[in-house]
Chains A and B, each alone.
Chain A
Amino acid sequence: MGLIFEGDNFSAFAEGFLRTIELSALSALFALLLGFVLAAFRVSPVPVLRWFATAWVTIFRNTPLTLLFFAVTFVLPQLDVHFESFTVAVIALSAYTGSFVCEVLRAGINTVPLGQAEAARSLGMGFGQTLGLVVLPQAARSVISPMGSVFIALPRNSAIAGAFNVPELFSVQKHLTEQSYGIFEIFIWIALAYLAISFTINALFSTLERRLAVAR
């Protein structure tokens, strides 16, 4: 089991680990932003925006992530748009995860009684104020737990980037296999690293959930 400490294995492993964290964190940030915008579109009074967000969610939530990586990797260059593989991975992961964030938010918005939005509007609040000051804060509590699931899935989904030239955690496995270490040992180390990331995210969301429960 000591393979990780032999030769330059540790630095390769650490590099992959940090890359995965970087990739996940950036994608999480963009997915969150995108998800909020899409959710606002989905409940907006403007039909075109609703239509756009619905189409986005339908396409990206129902397509295999690998296919999406292929699409971004091979279609964008044909449109003469060139990104390095890390950027491609961030785009694919954000577009995909954003559609899940949107649906979680929308489900949360739907748990808030309609009367809350009516009261806000009848006091003169616009669409943005109604959503931001009244509806979303009340949706937050019911949203935290499913949102946690979405963001725990993200680093694990990011493993696909390894097959698309991003030297992240999962691709370290190739590097180690080439040095003829046992496949079982390699996988255990990599699994442990993913577990560490997932546990951290889980802890983060549990804390958030407790905080919001106290603050009603």
Chain B
Amino acid sequence: MTENSAELRDAAPLVALRGVNKHYGALHVLQDIDLEIAQGEVVVLIGPSGSGKSTLCRTINRLETIDSGSIEVDGKPLPAEGRELARLRAQVGMVFQSFNLFSHKTVLENVVLAQVKVGKVAKAEAEKTARELLERVGVGAQADKYPSQLSGGQQQRVAIARALAMNPKVMLFDEPTSALDPEMVNEVLEVMRSLATRGMTMVVVTHEMGFARSAANRVLFMADGKIVEENTPDAFFTAPRTDRAKDFLSKILQH
């Protein structure tokens, strides 16, 4: 998968960030970020906590605003808050660290709600899509339960199905396995891996180096608000170029 990433990048990018800057008060969390993501590409963002990788991920559907620079999705610049932005967000799937399933709705309703209310899909059709997607992520049997009755791994898979139901052009994953018990991490990564194989464009913020190695086309290493290093997973993990990356890898890969 990694060998074709160069040719993927030749086409017009699906997501493009140019000169993006963001501050939290005195803290410069994103510093001159330039990033292009091609259709079908899987980009993994790694780096120490506080490096800005989650913030970067959240700017792509404008859950975080930026101070300067530009962000384009599918050739169109991100609009300001309003109807236009809502329409764009429907095309950008987002999966959160804390799942954020709607706790007052059943699993099925969680996947149906936005299809009907945002996508104006008929209810019967939305339910059919929802059941198929729930089946695909392996939680079809839980459709009528409430989120609180599910394990973390199951909830996260429902959250992925909920995002997929909108037929997104790109999926953003903001540390999708960080809140999970270790034995549930793999079931979620499996779903993500199969999405990657099906050609979904994905931006993944994660600490799962195994996933980065096996599923990513490109690894971005972030530190102090900057993209410090950018490479194929093989090259990055076997021969990191910068001291920051070497230091980071030595800390997380020693056991």
Contact = CB atoms under 8 A, between A and B. Distances in A.
Interface of A: 45, 113, 115-116, 118-126, 129, 133-134, 137-138, 216
Contacts, number: 69
Contacts of B81: 45
Looking at chain A's contact residues, is the secondary structure mostly helix, strand, loop, or mixed? helix
Given A124-B114, A125-B117, A129-B118, A119 B100 contact: yes
Given A118-B96, A129-B118, A124 B90 contact: yes
17 contacts: A113-B100, A115-B98, A118-B63, A120-B114, A121-B63, A122-B63, A122-B89, A123-B89, A123-B90, A123-B113, A123-B118, A123-B166, A124-B118, A126-B83, A126-B86, A129-B117, A138-B102
A128 to B, nearest CB: 10
Contacts of B101: 119
B102 A116 contact: yes
Contact of B87 (A124, A137, A216): A124
Interface residues of B, number: 31
- Chain B CB within 10 A, most for which of A113, A121, A123, A126: A123
Contacts of B163: 122-123
Contacts of B89: 121-124
Nearest to B61: A122
A41 to B, nearest CB: 16
Contacts of B100: 113, 115-116, 118-119
Interface string B102-134: 111000000001100111000000000000000
A134 B86 contact: no
B250 to A, nearest CB: 34
Nearest to A212: B104
Contact of A115 (B86, B91, B96, B162): B96
A126 B82 CA distance: 7
Given A115-B96, A115-B98, A119-B100, A125 B118 contact: yes
